[in-house]
Amino acid sequence: MYERGNSPDPGSWREILLIIRIVFEVLIPPLFFIIISLGLVVAFFILLLNGSVFAIVPVGLFALEIIWIVRKGNSAQVESRERLTNFYDD
């Protein structure tokens, strides 16, 4: 965390590692969902080619993943809207 007076030299390794850490913290959740989605699609086609009735399971899991992402996005949007209204009400 940033502390006043304890800043690293510009271009130092600490600063570079901090930037890399922040980038990975931002990119890991979307990459995780992309990899999971691709795995579910592959599982669906493998089960479908085998003639299995269980091919519907990856479709259901994919639908649950999409529903979870949409709800998370909506809750973040509501939270942002509440912060804005509280800011203008003050």
pLDDT in tens, 23-70: 988 899 889 989 998 998 898 888 888 887 888 888 888 889 889 888
pLDDT of 35 reads 93
Letter string b/e over residues 12-48, b meaning 16 or more CB atoms within 10 A of that residue's CB: eeeeeeeeeeeeeeeeeeeeeeeeeeeebeebbeebe
**In the predicted structure, residue 11 carries a pLDDT above the cut 80:** no
pTM of the full structure: 0.56
Residues in the chain: 90
Q: Which has the higher per-residue pLDDT, 24 or 90?
A: 24
